[in-house]
Structure 1
Amino acid sequence: MMQIPPWPPEPYILALTGVGLLIALVAWLPLALKKLPLSLPIICIAIGLILGRYAPTPTVPLPSEYPGFVERFTELVVIIALMGAGLKIDRVFSWKRWAITWRLLGPTMLLTIASVTVIGIYLLHLPLPLAILLGGVMAPTDPVLAADVQVGPPKSGEEDEVRFGLTSEAGLNDGLAFPFIHLAVALAAVGTTGAPWVGQWFLHNVLWEIAAGVGIGWLVGWLFGWITFHIPADSKLAQTGDGVIAIAATLITYGVCEMAQCYGFLGVFIAALVIRHAHRSHAFQREMHDFTEQIERIAMMAGLVLFGGALISGVLAPLGWREALAAAMILLIVRPAAGMLGLIGFRAHKSEKVTLAFFGIRGVGSFYYMAYGLNHMEAGHQNGLWALLSLVVLISILMHGLTVTPVMRSLDRFHGRNPDGAAG
């Protein structure tokens, strides 16, 4: 007699099946969603909500319960995304050609941090360290969830001013917001130890960590670029066509930066830019980018499924009207206003400026900064801060995900390009 297999199957078998489906969705969904007002992150969150509600072995993936895992997992996802973002930028670096980047990194980011800090103090009644932490958490745009507003793969020609600005901003502001996270941690430590902090923070967390991050990123990127493209032909790594070398460069750069106590996020993005320009026209650039993007998408989908599970498990439960109002202000007022102010005097069409200001997508990077900050300070309000951040990220994913396709297709038509890829 045929034995009927047990039901439900073992969690391990269910997990294998689920991972397989997740990887299949990574390959199929971007093609299916290309013309629809939907995004891959929205689908991932929906899957997480369903699994959180109906999974045979329910889990409660609340970030406040697993702060160490959240910090390390999001850290890994962000550095892979930063490598991918750097590899896809075709524009040669110069202060003038990157003028839009400096506007988004300078006045726009600083205005955002200051505004969110004020919201934290006067609306949410947070102590100064936590208000500054909130400002640093909400300031960086996300390199992981912003794929639909970024430039296309290397040499694809999909690099207008808006896409370039949003890509370069997301690549650099994840590192340049870090001094404000350290400032919050230092201020929190002063309240408990009374230790002097100004000199240590400015000399180490600002000057050293930024300069060393840029320097190490350039050095590792130059070394990988030389080994990959310029040593004798029989030994060139580019001959292998193995894009995994980009992941190796990512991990080595980040590891060396962390050992030197400087900003690894900044170092990885700089390394990617240097590798990209080591041989700008080589086909292997596309191989490295595509492999990195595939790994990034799998990790991003896994993280957003867990985020969906956290939503169904009650991560938003501590929210009150103050947090809801703060989230609306951050996404609908602070970022758009800071973006428009930062772009005053920049030569671009008004629709381009509005698009740049509007798409300040919050996501995985913000979760990393929140986890890092809270893991390095003694602080209350943790559940409330996680709830506020989760609401901001959820609204950002829905709002930006539902509008990105029509907005970017309209932008392409404005520039005389066919949004479906044919010659315009």
Structure 2
Amino acid sequence: MTDATVYLLLGLSLLLAIVLPQVTRGIAISPPMVLVALGMLIGLLPLSGEVSLDPQDHRTLVTHVTELTVLVALMGVGLAIDRELQVRSWPSWRTWSPVWRLLLVAMPLTVLGVAVLGWWVAGLTPAVALLLGAVLSPTDPVLASDVQVGEPLTEDIDDPDGAEDDRPEEDDDIRFSLTAEAGLNDGLAFPFVHLALLMLAGGFGLADAGAWLGWDVLGKIVVGVGVGLAAGWLLGRQAFRARAATLRLAEHGEPMLALAALLVAYGAAELVGGYGFLAVFTCAMTLRASHRGHAYQRAMHGVVERLERLLTLLVLLVLGMAMTRGLLEHLDWRGIVVSLALLLVVRPAAGWIAVAVLPREERLDGGLDRGEMAAVAFFGVRGVGSLFYLAYAASHEHLPDEPWLWSTVAFTVIASVLLHGVTATPAMARLDARRGTASTKG
């Protein structure tokens, strides 16, 4: 394949990525589905001087590309969430009730469920089974746009009345819960990954368990969140309230601050040992809270969203190409059973238990009716985060059954893209219509 052909294919793919969200809106086909299919077709083309697409040959590259993709997605998610979280307000915390339930109940249950399947069905060692559960636990609503929030809700600074955008269909508890869950669980999967790596290294005893619980579970989370809060507060104050007008970037409309904030928060958190993923998401939310209604928020989100779309395009195209060039070579019935059980049984059951047991009242913010509970429980999309965690683990420790793990995780991501991509549009349309009918009657 010549360089000119590569440029042509990338250009056509990028054009397709730009057009797809508009073309597929309202139909049961998501842009990620088309991009993966296109990657599979490209992978079938005859190549001269083939380059290996085996992730085991490019662990470092896969780690960094997927890491950057997740970071950009987290920044975009944090800037997009409209629901405020006031640290000193208990009612504010309660409006986030579905998110806390999904993180504290559904995520550990998902890790446990997949680990048991990996040990019982696939015959993996306990450490590798736990790693598989940790790798497949984060959700990624970026790959199913119908179940995530859209652009930030801002005030139109050109409107003398300061009217707000009318976007009621996206300001609901389902989209908010799934988006916020994905923003936080991409960082909270790390303690489980570290635990699996410690078990793989051998000699994991009571003292190691205490150190893991005290530092990997609690310490790194606190440090990551603290760094994110500090970075977001400082950058927000500089952008919106700096004494010198030349330093108030919001007034000049320079949206690259979002990328600077991403890099600063992640780098600072990693330097002091915290979880950088949590720092980026927390930084984005704090930056958003600095001036929630300012149009600058939408400008920053727009830059991040475009970069996210480009990186996701790259990852999905390469994933599709790798599928038709040997990535699924080691997939067997065990991997298929584990993957489908996760998507159809483990996540829906764990999500349902999390949000349906002692639920918050439907009429309150953060309250879900039975249909909304089912949607939140079902739409746990697996995506780029799972690829990152597996690459990260493989870069830090020798993994038994690594080829099988790559095939199984890749199959799970593709199956999730197909399953949730097909069902998201009709399911959300039905719920939106029902909610609209209920509000009209009310």
TM-score range (shorter-chain normalised) is over 0.9
Determine the structure 2 residue equivalent to 1:141.
139
Match of 1:129 in 2: 127
In the alignment, which residue of structure 1 is the partner of 2:396?
Answer: 376
Aligned partner of 2:381 among 345, 361, 364: 361
1:221 to 228, 232, 248: 232
Question: Displacement of 1:146 after TM fit?
Answer: 3.6
Contact residue 361 and residue 397 of structure 1 kept, 8 A: yes
Deviation at 1:75, TM superposition (A): 0.3
What is aligned with 1:110? Answer: 108
Residue aligning to 2:63? 71
Which of 191, 195, 212 is equivalent to 1:201?
A: 212
Aligned length: 408
Counterpart amino acid of 1:101?
V
**In 2, distance between residues paired with 1:249 and 1:188?**
35
Aligned counterpart, 2:17: 26
In the aligned structure 2, how far is the partner of 1:161 from the partner of 1:276? 19
Aligned to 1:394: 414
Range moving further from structure 2, 235-244 or 382-391: 235-244
Structure 2 residue matching 1:246: 3-state secondary structure: helix
**2:59 is equivalent to residue 62 of structure 1:** no
Any idea what the Cα deviations from partners look like across 1:8-34, whole Å, max 9, x if unmatched? 7x41x2333333223322321111111
The two structures, once aligned, show a CA RMSD in angstroms of 1.8
2:163 aligns with none
Q: In structure 2, how many angstroms separate the alpha carbons of the residues matched to 1:159 and 1:197?
A: 44
Report the secondary structure of 2:106's partner residue.
helix
Query: Counterparts of 1:13-412 in structure 2 under 5 Å?
Result: 13-54=4-45, 56-57=47-48, 58-93=50-85, 94-155=92-153, 156-157=167-168, 158-191=170-203, 197-232=208-243, 233-344=245-356, 345-346=358-359, 347=361, 348-412=368-432
CA contact (8 A) 2:144 2:421 kept: no
Contact map agreement 1:60 1:309 (CA 8 A) in 2: no
State the Cα distance separating 1:65 from its structure 2 match: 2.1
1:130 deviation in Å?
0.7
How many angstroms does 1:194 deviate by? Answer: 8.1
| Residues 1:152 and 1:194: Cα distance change in structure 2 (over 3 Å) | closer
Structure 2 counterpart of 1:25, one-letter code: L
Equivalent residue of 2:330, what SS?
Answer: coil
The verdict on how the C-alpha distance between 1:374 and 1:357 changes in structure 2, with shifts beyond 3 A counting, is same
Q: Measure how far apart 1:235 and its partner are.
A: 2.7
Tell me if the contact between 1:253 and 1:268 (Cα under 8 Å) persists in the aligned partners. Answer: yes
Over residues 105-130 of structure 1, what are the superposed CA-to-partner deviations in whole Å (9 max), with x where a residue is unaligned? Answer: 01111111111111111111111111
Distance 2:144 2:280 in 1: 18
> Could you tell me whether the CA contact under 8 Å between 2:128 and 2:196 is conserved in 1?
yes
Cα deviation, residue 147, structure 1 = 2.9
Judge conservation of contact 1:213–1:262 (CA < 8 Å) in 2. Answer: yes
Contact 2:17/2:35 (8 A) holds in 1: no
What CA distance in whole angstroms lies between the structure 1 residues aligned with 2:71 and 2:422? 26
Deviations 1:91-143 (A, max 9, x none): 01131111110011011111111111111111111111111111111111015
Deviation at 1:56, TM superposition (A): 4.0
Go from structure 1 to structure 2 and tell me whether the alpha carbon gap of 1:55 and 1:267 turns closer, same or farther (over 3 Å shift). farther
Change (3 A) 1:357 1:194: closer
The whole-number CA distance in structure 1 between the counterparts of 2:257 and 2:318 is 28
TM superposition shift of 1:379: 2.0
CA deviation digits over 1:356-392, x for unaligned, max 9? 0110100100001111112211221000011111111
Any conservation in 1 of the 2:235–2:261 contact (CA below 8 Å)? Answer: yes
Distance in 2 separating the partners of 1:140 and 1:289 = 22
Q: C-alpha distance in 1, partners of 2:352/2:207?
A: 37
1:361 and 1:85 mapped to 2: Cα distance?
A: 15
Structure 1: gaps (5+ residues): 1-7, 418-424
The 3-state SS of whatever aligns with 2:191 is helix
Name the stretch that deviates more: 196-205 or 365-374: 196-205
- 319-328 vs 162-171, greater mean Cα deviation: 319-328
Matching residue's letter, 1:54: L
Q: Deviations over 1:328-362 (max 9, x none)?
A: 11110000000111112324221111110110100
Do the aligned partners of residues 292 and 97 (structure 1) sit closer, same or farther apart at CA in structure 2, a change above 3 Å counting? same
CA contact (8 A) 2:144 2:424 kept: no
> Which deviates more, 74-83 or 41-50?
41-50
Q: Distance in 2 between matches of 1:312 and 1:367?
A: 17
Percent identity, aligned pairs only?
42
CA distance in 2 between partners of 1:139 and 1:309 (Å) = 25
Shift of 1:308: 0.4
Alpha-carbon distance in 2 for matches of 1:241, 1:198:
49
Partners of 1:200 and 1:309 in 2: CA distance? 42
Equivalent pair of 2:142/2:148 in contact (CA under 8 Å): no
Superposed CA offset, 1:156-195 (max 9, x none): 441200000000000001111110000001111125x989
The residue identity in structure 2 corresponding to 1:381 is D
| Cα shift at 1:55 | 5.1
How far residue 202 of structure 1 moved from its aligned partner, in angstroms, is 1.9
